[in-house]
Structure 1
Amino acid sequence: MFMMFAMTSDSVGEIIKEVKIAFDVTNAQASLMHSLPMLGIALSGLFLGFLADRLGRKRTIILGLGLFALACYMFMLGKTFWFIVSLMTLSGVAVGVFKTGALALIGDISTSNKEHTSAMNGAEAFFGVGAIIGPLIVVYLIHQGISWQWLYVVAGAMCTVLIVMASMVNYPDHRQVSEQANTQPAEKASMIDSLKLMKNGYAMSFSIGAFLYVAAESAIYVWMPSYLVCGATSASDAFACYQDESTQFLAMYAVSAFFILRAIGRFVGMWVMARFNWALILMLFSFAIMMCFIGGLWGGPQVAVFLFPLTGIFMSVIYPTFNSKGISCFPRKMHGTVAGLILFWTAAGAAAGPFIMGLVSDANGGDAKYGFIVATVFTMILFFGLLYNYIANPTEKRLAQIEKEEYGA
């Protein structure tokens, strides 16, 4: 599921180039193909995240996958720009539904908080794989003279297979487990529960952390190409500032290098998070990210071409761990609702971060460097937050309590 979602969401850059030509739309209009699906995911996570706790993981996942498959197949009917944007928004809502169900399910099948974090990194690793192969499929289709819309047909077919698989699997009963652990009946979840979580310090701390991380991460794959062209005004001299061909090649495929390193890092993260202190790892890795951003700004594009893609390794474990530890601060009967809240702030960061960077860059003559100053501030706040988390360890007692109640450890 994670890989299929990434195949479509992280291909939007390649798709936008084709849509702008086909429908003669402006950059602002084309950007809606990224921001509106993110808005759909955000609102779905906040207002529909409770479905995983109320209807159960299985029904919620099948509901979300069914809605996503419907949207995918309808892409072949897309003849207008606004129809396509509407389908992308609908797919975003669907993602919010099935992803909260999937995130909650990871908690149900885990036997400890450490295993939960390791499994979360594994799931996100497949997201990283989808982020690599999705754009490649789009490029291949275009070069073969085939419409990019067939990517969604492929995703729809995968979705149909996943629906069949999901319907055949026996899922653990999260309500029964929670009732046994707490010796009291589980209350039915509702939309109000999602809004109440806005007042919870544990939920909001990890949610804000996810916002800051995703805002910095999206700076790499959205604005790094603009920064690495060294201010060139034409495609012919876009990489003329790099002295050797190997560096020019890296500059051309810097985003792909970032996604590859992020995917590799997440598979490694499964092993790392099962064996080391998660708070220490996040603090050290966030420091490395911050230094890569500072170094890329200080040294200019010639240095950033190496440091910015390198952040993929250090970014790899941060978001899955935020998700895991944030969810693990609550009983399993609330995992869907909590996952929805974190997903809301995740999508908000993906939408707001690049938008703020764009505004700041435009206000300074369109230079992407100024946008990356904003992104660097995001990484600094993230680091100091994780430094405090490592020193004070405010979640230690909470996680230990949930570990004992939910996992019997």
Structure 2
Amino acid sequence: MFMMFAMTSDSVGEIIKEVKVAFDVTNAQASLMHSLPMLGIAMSGLLLGFLADRLGRKTTIIIGLSVFGLACYSFFIANNFVFIVSLMTLSGIAVGIFKTGALALIGDISSSTKQHTATMNGAEAFFGVGAIIGPLIVAWLIHKGVPWQYLYIIAGGICTFLIVVAVWVKYPVYTRNQDDSVKKVSVRQSLSLVKNPYALGFSTGAFLYVAAESAIYVWMPSYLVCDAASLRATYDCYTGGAAQTLAIYSVTAFFILRAAGRFVGIWMMSHFNWALVLMLFSGAIVVCFAGGLMGGKQVALYLFPLTGIFMSVIYPTFNSKGISCFPKHQHGSVAGVILFFTAAGAAAGPFIMGLVSDANGGDAKYGFMVATVFASLLFAGLLFNYLKNPTQRQLEKIEASEYGAA
């Protein structure tokens, strides 16, 4: 599921280049192809996240996958900008449903908060694999003269297979919290979690991280072209064939490094202080962003994709530790809250970067300046988290009550 979602969402930077030419839209308008689906994920995560706790993980996942599959197959008849963006938004709503179910399920199959974090990194590693596959499929389709919309037809086929699997697979026994039996109460309880300091803290971190990360896969392809005035420009400003190849496949290189880092993160989060790792890695992201801006395209060509290594473990750990601060019967709801802020960051970040870039002649460099600010705020927050360790007592409490270990 994570891989399928990533195939579509993380291909948007490559798709935007084609849509801008086909429909003659601005950077800000094209960014809606990313921002509106993320808004759909945000709202469904916040308002429908309780479904995983009320209906159970299995039912919620099947509902979400069914809606996602319908949206994907509808791309077969999508032939205008508004229709395309509408379908992307619908798919985002569906993702918010099945992903909260999947995130809650991770808690059901974990035996400790530490294992929860390692498992979350493993699930997000498959997201990283999908992020590699998706842009490659889009590039291959365009090279062969096939409409990029067929990426969604392929994703729809995978989704159909996943629905069949979800129907027949045996899920862990889940005991529904009786207090959540009324929809109105469940929504209110989900919204009340926003005020919880643990949910709000990790959600804010997720917002800042995703806002910074999205700059890479949304705007890096536009920033690295040699002629900023034309997205059809070649990459002949880079010296050597290897550099030109890296420029063409920079997003893929980023996603390969991010996926590799997440698989390593399964081991890393089981052996090292998670707060220290996140603080150091967020600082490295700031260095890479600042160095890429000061050194220009020739330096950014290497530093921007390199951030994939440092970004790899941040979001899965935010998700895991944030969810692990709550009892299991609230995992779906709190996952929805974190997902809301995640998607809000993914929606707001690229859109703000697009506006800033348009205000400065359309140069994506100015958007990356905004991304550097987001990354700097993230580092400041993670530095505080490492020095003060505000979640230690809560995680120890949940470890004892929910997983049976002190």
With the shorter chain as reference, the TM-score category is over 0.9
Q: Give 1:345 deviation, angstroms.
A: 0.7
- SS across alignment from 1:174: coil
Aligned to 1:106: 106
The answer to whether the Cα contact below 8 Å between 2:28 and 2:358 also exists between their aligned partners in 1 is: no
Aligned to 1:133: 133
* In structure 1, C-alpha distance between the alignment counterparts of 2:107 and 2:84, rounded to whole Å: 35
Aligned to 1:86: 86
- Which residue of 337, 342, 346 maps to 2:342? 346
Q: Give 1:69 deviation, angstroms.
A: 1.2
How far does the alpha carbon of each residue in 1:193-237 deviate from its partner, in whole angstroms, 9 at most, with x for none?
Answer: 121011110001000000100011011122223333466545687
Q: Give 1:16 deviation, angstroms.
A: 3.5
Aligned to 2:163: 163
Letter in 1 for 2:259: A
- Report matched runs for 1:227-242 at 5 Å: 227-229=223-225, 232-234=228-230, 239-242=235-238
* In structure 2, C-alpha distance between the alignment counterparts of 1:26 and 1:403, rounded to whole Å: 50
Task: Tell me the TM-score normalized by structure 1.
Answer: 0.92
Aligned to 1:151: 151
- SS across alignment from 1:171: coil
Letter in 2 for 1:257: A
* In structure 2, C-alpha distance between the alignment counterparts of 1:206 and 1:46, rounded to whole Å: 15
1:275 aligns with 2:259: no
How far does the alpha carbon of each residue in 1:237-283 deviate from its partner, in whole angstroms, 9 at most, with x for none?
Answer: 75454333322332222211111101111111111111111111111
* In structure 2, C-alpha distance between the alignment counterparts of 1:26 and 1:243, rounded to whole Å: 30
1:381 aligns with 2:377: yes
Aligned to 2:53: 53
Q: Give 1:304 deviation, angstroms.
A: 1.6
Q: Give 1:355 deviation, angstroms.
A: 1.7
Letter in 1 for 2:330: M
| Count of residues in Structure 1 that have an aligned counterpart in Structure 2 | 402
Q: Give 1:28 deviation, angstroms.
A: 4.3
The answer to whether the Cα contact below 8 Å between 1:231 and 1:367 also exists between their aligned partners in 2 is: no
* In structure 2, C-alpha distance between the alignment counterparts of 1:345 and 1:14, rounded to whole Å: 24
Q: Give 1:52 deviation, angstroms.
A: 0.5
- Report matched runs for 1:56-71 at 5 Å: 56-71=56-71
Aligned to 1:394: 390
Task: Tell me the TM-score normalized by structure 2.
Answer: 0.93
- SS across alignment from 1:366: coil
* In structure 1, C-alpha distance between the alignment counterparts of 2:353 and 2:80, rounded to whole Å: 29
Q: Give 1:85 deviation, angstroms.
A: 2.2
CA pair 187-23 structure 1, distance change in 2 beyond 3 A: closer
What is the percentage of aligned positions where both structures have the same residue? 73
* In structure 2, C-alpha distance between the alignment counterparts of 1:18 and 1:406, rounded to whole Å: 49
The answer to whether the Cα contact below 8 Å between 2:198 and 2:322 also exists between their aligned partners in 1 is: yes
Aligned to 2:287: 291
CA pair 234-91 structure 1, distance change in 2 beyond 3 A: closer
**Which residues of structure 1 form unaligned runs of 5+?**
180-184
Letter in 1 for 2:362: G
* In structure 1, C-alpha distance between the alignment counterparts of 2:224 and 2:19, rounded to whole Å: 24
- Which residue of 287, 311, 330 maps to 2:307? 311
- SS across alignment from 1:111: coil
Name which of structure 1's ranges 21-30 and 270-279 shifts more when overlaid on structure 2: 21-30
Aligned to 1:258: 254
The answer to whether the Cα contact below 8 Å between 2:28 and 2:351 also exists between their aligned partners in 1 is: no
Letter in 2 for 1:377: V
The answer to whether the Cα contact below 8 Å between 2:109 and 2:172 also exists between their aligned partners in 1 is: yes
- SS across alignment from 1:86: helix
Aligned to 1:182: none
The answer to whether the Cα contact below 8 Å between 1:232 and 1:238 also exists between their aligned partners in 2 is: no
Letter in 1 for 2:304: F
Q: Give 1:142 deviation, angstroms.
A: 3.1
- Report matched runs for 1:319-334 at 5 Å: 319-334=315-330
How far does the alpha carbon of each residue in 1:314-368 deviate from its partner, in whole angstroms, 9 at most, with x for none?
Answer: 1000000000000000001000111111111111111111222222233334333
* In structure 2, C-alpha distance between the alignment counterparts of 1:24 and 1:369, rounded to whole Å: 21
- SS across alignment from 2:175: helix
Letter in 1 for 2:292: G
CA pair 241-16 structure 1, distance change in 2 beyond 3 A: closer
Aligned to 2:119: 119
